[in-house]
Amino acid sequence: MKVGLVSFHSFFYQGGVKRHILSLKKEFKKRGVQSKIIVPRRKRIENYGPDVLLLGRSFPVTFAGTQGDFCVSFNPISIEKTLREEKFDILHFHNFGFPLAGQILEASKSLNILTFHANLEANNILRLFPQIFYPIKAITNWEIDGIIGVSEPILKYFKDFKCPKKIIPNGIDLKEFNPRVPKIKRFLDDKINILFLGRIEERKGLIYLLKAFKILEKKFPNLRLIIVGEGELRRDCIKFTKENQLKEVYFEGEGKHGEVSPYYTTADIFVSPAIFGESFGMVLLEAMASGVPVVAFANQGYKELLKKKRGAFLVPPKDYRALVQKIEILIKKPHLRKKMGEWGQKDAQKYSWDRICDQVLDFYRFCQRKKQGL
């Protein structure tokens, strides 16, 4: 079996879909499953090694409070040539980038699987103009042989899809994310470290955490807020920090070499104030696997991941005062932080990549049999 993992998100930056694809490829290799990654080029010069094929171009677009990619190939012959040479048995698409997805599907002679990661909750444009999604539905019914949703709410967009559908959540690398990862020494003192990790954009809601931290810093002198990530609102958030004279706020960028696991183990509390559009919550799972208690806004994806789990507090989106209340509980109760961290770590074991990979491979085989009429 040879699998082509197709991304419609540039690999030039960090991102949840990129981490998902790289982890899935790593698990495939352990099992002797051949795979290569297909990804559009964002910059003129990019090189990710022989197992990453650069196909098409990616142009950044801001849409519904987040950054996405407009993907296209100006040389369709290169698509046909690549697929002919690689002879993939399966093309596994991750999200759906226009018009490149259609261009690849038109040339594909493989089994075509789609994992849809995006939750279109609270997308005003889509709600006002639902016909925007019609081409995706039409193309999936035309060429896709099976759909994976990383959470239940995602599959509702494909309720009329005729071929197999399955919920397979994101996975977690428990060797990379666990409480034994060495901490960042410069942040080890008597302060309580609160961590934000994610893109600094409207959808991720960092401004609400900064407003909460403004209140908390006045009550507790031993707090520190560590911010890991980049994005178009970084400058605005830094401006808010300076204007409000927030003393212990550290903007770390993407983190050294893109490594984020030491930030989790350094944190005492992880906060994700994403206001909408989360399909699953990879950062929550990474924090839980690292043994860190979680406070987050109750968007649809986070509610799906954290239902019946005791390692996290959820509060209404945009309600930064409710965020203050939950963070304050954890500041005052170190024993509760420890207990919630243990509960979260235990829950995270269910999402180990070896388990998730088995589910993906089983779904491939099921769809192959279905297509062959077996």
pLDDT tier at 156 (50, 70, 90 boundaries)? confident
Task: Work out the average pLDDT over 241-256.
Answer: 93
Query: Average per-residue pLDDT in the chain?
Result: 92
More reliable by pLDDT, 373 or 333: 333
Write down how long the chain is: 374
Whole-number pLDDT of residue 260 = 93
Checking 246-250 for CB contacts under 8 A at 24+ apart, the result is: 246/210, 246/213, 246/214, 246/217, 247/217, 248/191, 248/217, 248/223, 248/224, 249/210, 249/213, 249/224, 249/225, 250/224, 250/225, 250/226
pTM strictly above 0.75: yes
pLDDT of 257 strictly over 60? no
What is the tens place of the pLDDT at every residue in 206-225? 999 999 999 999 999 999 99
pLDDT of 120 strictly over 70? no
pLDDT of 123 strictly over 60? no
Lowest mean pLDDT among 12-21, 124-133, 156-165, 226-235: 124-133
Distance CA 277, CA 19 (A): 18
Domains of the chain and CATH, by start: 2-171+352-371 (3.40.50.2000), 185-350 (3.40.50.2000)
Q: Three-state DSSP class for 280?
A: coil
Amino acid of residue 336? L
Do the bridges between strand 66-72 and strand 52-63 make them parallel or antiparallel, or are there none, so unpaired?
A: antiparallel
pLDDT of 134 strictly over 90? no
pLDDT of 126 strictly over 70? no
Whole-number pLDDT of residue 141 = 79
More reliable by pLDDT, 326 or 278: 326
Task: Work out the average pLDDT over 98-118.
Answer: 93
The secondary structure of 176-223, three-state, reads CCCCCCCCCHHHCCCCEEEEEECCCCHHHCHHHHHHHHHHHHHHCCCE
Q: Which of 328, 230, 232, 350 is nearest to 271 (CA)?
A: 328
pLDDT of 47 strictly over 80? yes
Q: Which of 173, 199, 176, 142 is nearest to 14 (CA)?
A: 199
pLDDT tier at 359 (50, 70, 90 boundaries)? very high
Whole-number pLDDT of residue 65 = 60
pLDDT of 125 strictly over 70? no
* Percent of the chain whose pLDDT exceeds 90: 78
What is the tens place of the pLDDT at every residue in 81-102? 999 999 999 999 999 888 999 9
